[in-house]
């Protein structure tokens, strides 16, 4: 966010303009910046999120309270605070002329939900003046078609018209549809050739008896589309209104997008917990946000869940806060950015800072973490703790790469890792272990760098950790 010092500079530049030409050239631009800043103020942004979230709740109730709601990471979390779970369909995978089907974002958890509930709702938003984000217009329709074809292949169904048709929304031009259509066979082959997920795909094909179909809804659309009983429906709710943004200068379309650039450390969970205090007055919202972030970071974790999410039968799991020890748990690795003091020797502190400032932060803690895990597995379980799910998944992935083969069988022996073996391990986590989303690219890059160069670097890094611990104990 632009600081108040720069806003004051803009205003003073306007005052210094002595003639109409200068005011026209400098003053008008500076004034426009001030107005845009006001329109995009934190208060307006958060009020817009509340407004849009109310629309999402109304639509979800209309579709059916029994239908599971998924927030599409990361923007969707701001608009669906009561969602049952999340998914990760990235808009860039659907950008025109750059269509992709990324195996790191398989979203097999969505298929599991459809197999059980027969329908689901996915919530997202866009700030780019469009009604629907590209994740809804392109990425999910492409994913749906690929999954339909794979399911049909596993079920030996030959009905191409029903199970193989590419169903994109009507505003996508036919020329683009034809280009995407040509890419689909390669996307299907890539999934069918990914061996770690074939058992899970085969299992899902036995549970899903109808093809998948998308339905699009937004504040700018009228009515509800007809529901065809011959499909399993994925309701795509775009929370924000492009039309309202054109009429209301204080409304911020897709206010939850790109939250790192404006949130001051506020997360969707924090916001909805402290919403009333934060939005009580418009002139001190930044101070209220800092108070909320501080309160959550210094509290004894009363709002964080200690429920453990276990990754299949690996004996590895993760939680938001330190859980109580059970006889089967041998080690808890606390990767919180601000770990609480612990007296139990079975709790290893391996703090991972928030944000992207240090893109090597994972490789710095992995020698220490993996060295501590070595005597624990497979006899007892290990729990990774952090409020950042991406950190948890990456550390769990590192444990899988270090101690298990690509099918999740414990080996206990170090083996040479490659990019393909790490990718296979991630696919295993996404399928057999039920992990919904891939960690960010920069985290995976750091993890790849660590394993691909560990023969050279690991002893040096581990030695540094031991030296730092020794120095800390002597202070």
Per-residue model confidence as pLDDT tens digits over 392-430: 989 999 999 999 987 788 987 766 788 888 888 888 888
CB of 459 closer than 8 Å to CB of 414: no
Reported as a single tens digit per residue, the pLDDT across 121-150 is 999 999 877 999 999 999 999 999 999 999
pLDDT at position 313 is 85
Helices (H), 23-101: 28-39, 42-63
Helices (H), 334-440: 361-373, 389-403, 419-431
Residue that wins the pLDDT comparison between 434 and 16: 434
pLDDT at position 7 is 47
pLDDT at position 23 is 47
| Average pLDDT of the segment spanning 49-61 | 96
CB of 403 closer than 8 Å to CB of 375: no
pTM above 0.75, yes or no: yes
pLDDT at position 408 is 83
pLDDT at position 463 is 59
Q: How far apart are the C-alpha atoms of 256 and 271, rounded to whole Å? A: 11
pLDDT at position 30 is 67
Work out whether strand 69-72 and strand 119-124 pair parallel, antiparallel, or are unpaired. Answer: parallel
pLDDT at position 411 is 86
Question: How does residue 302 score in pLDDT terms, banded at 50, 70 and 90?
Answer: very low
Residue that wins the pLDDT comparison between 456 and 202: 202
pLDDT > 90? residue 294: no
pLDDT at position 214 is 97
Least confident among 239-243, 305-309, 417-421, 462-466: 462-466
| Average pLDDT of the segment spanning 30-53 | 77
pLDDT at position 304 is 57
Residue 310 Cα distances to 134, 307, 457, angstroms: 32, 10, 31
E strand map for 106-263: 119-124, 212-217, 232-238
């Amino acid at each position: 966010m632009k600081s108040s010092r720069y806003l004051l500079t803009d205003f003073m530049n306007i005052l210094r303009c002595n003639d109409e030409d200068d005011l026209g050239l400098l003053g008008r631009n500076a004034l426009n910046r001030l107005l845009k800043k006001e329109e995009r103020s934190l208060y307006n942004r958060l009020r817009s999120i509340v407004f849009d979230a109310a629309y999402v709740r109304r639509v979800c109730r209309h579709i059916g309270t029994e239908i599971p709601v998924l927030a599409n990471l990361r923007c969707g979390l701001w608009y669906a605070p009561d969602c049952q779970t999340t998914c990760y369909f990235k808009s860039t995978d659907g950008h025109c002329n750059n269509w992709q089907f990324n195996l790191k974002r398989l979203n097999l958890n969505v298929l599991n939900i459809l197999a059980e509930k027969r329908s689901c709702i996915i919530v997202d938003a866009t700030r780019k003046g469009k009604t629907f984000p590209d994740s809804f217009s392109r990425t999910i329709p492409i994913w749906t078609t690929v999954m339909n074809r794979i399911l049909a292949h596993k079920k030996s169904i030959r009905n191409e018209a029903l199970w193989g048709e590419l169903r994109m929304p009507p505003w996508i031009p036919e020329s683009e549809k034809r280009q995407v259509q040509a890419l689909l066979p390669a996307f299907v082959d890539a999934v069918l050739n990914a061996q770690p997920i074939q058992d899970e795909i085969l299992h899902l094909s036995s549970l899903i008896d109808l093809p998948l179909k998308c339905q699009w809804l937004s504040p700018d659309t009228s009515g509800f589309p007809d529901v065809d009983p011959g499909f399993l429906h994925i309701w795509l709710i775009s929370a924000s209104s492009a039309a309202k943004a054109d009429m209301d200068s204080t409304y911020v379309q897709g206010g939850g997008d790109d939250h790192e650039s404006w949130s001051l450390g506020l997360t969707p969970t924090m916001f909805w917990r402290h919403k009333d205090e934060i939005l009580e007055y418009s002139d001190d919202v930044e101070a209220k946000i800092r108070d909320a972030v501080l309160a959550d970071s210094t509290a004894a974790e009363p709002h964080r869940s200690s429920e453990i999410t276990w990754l299949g039968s690996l004996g590895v799991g993760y939680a938001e806060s330190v859980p109580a020890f059970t006889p089967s748990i041998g080690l808890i690795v606390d990767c919180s950015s601000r770990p609480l003091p612990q007296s139990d020797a079975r709790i290893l502190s391996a703090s991972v800072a928030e944000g992207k400032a240090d893109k090597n932060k994972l490789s710095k803690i992995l020698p220490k973490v993996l060295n501590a895990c070595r005597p624990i597995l497979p006899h007892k379980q290990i729990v990774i703790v952090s409020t950042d799910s991406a950190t948890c998944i990456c550390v769990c992935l590192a444990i899988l790469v270090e101690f298990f083969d690509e099918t999740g069988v414990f080996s206990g022996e170090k083996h040479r890792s490659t990019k393909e073996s790490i990718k296979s391990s991630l696919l295993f986590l996404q399928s057999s272990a039920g992990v919904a989303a891939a960690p960010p690219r920069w985290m995976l890059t750091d993890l790849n760098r660590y394993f691909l160069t560990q023969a050279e670097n690991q002893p040096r890094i581990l030695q540094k950790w031991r030296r730092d611990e020794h120095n800390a104990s002597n202070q």
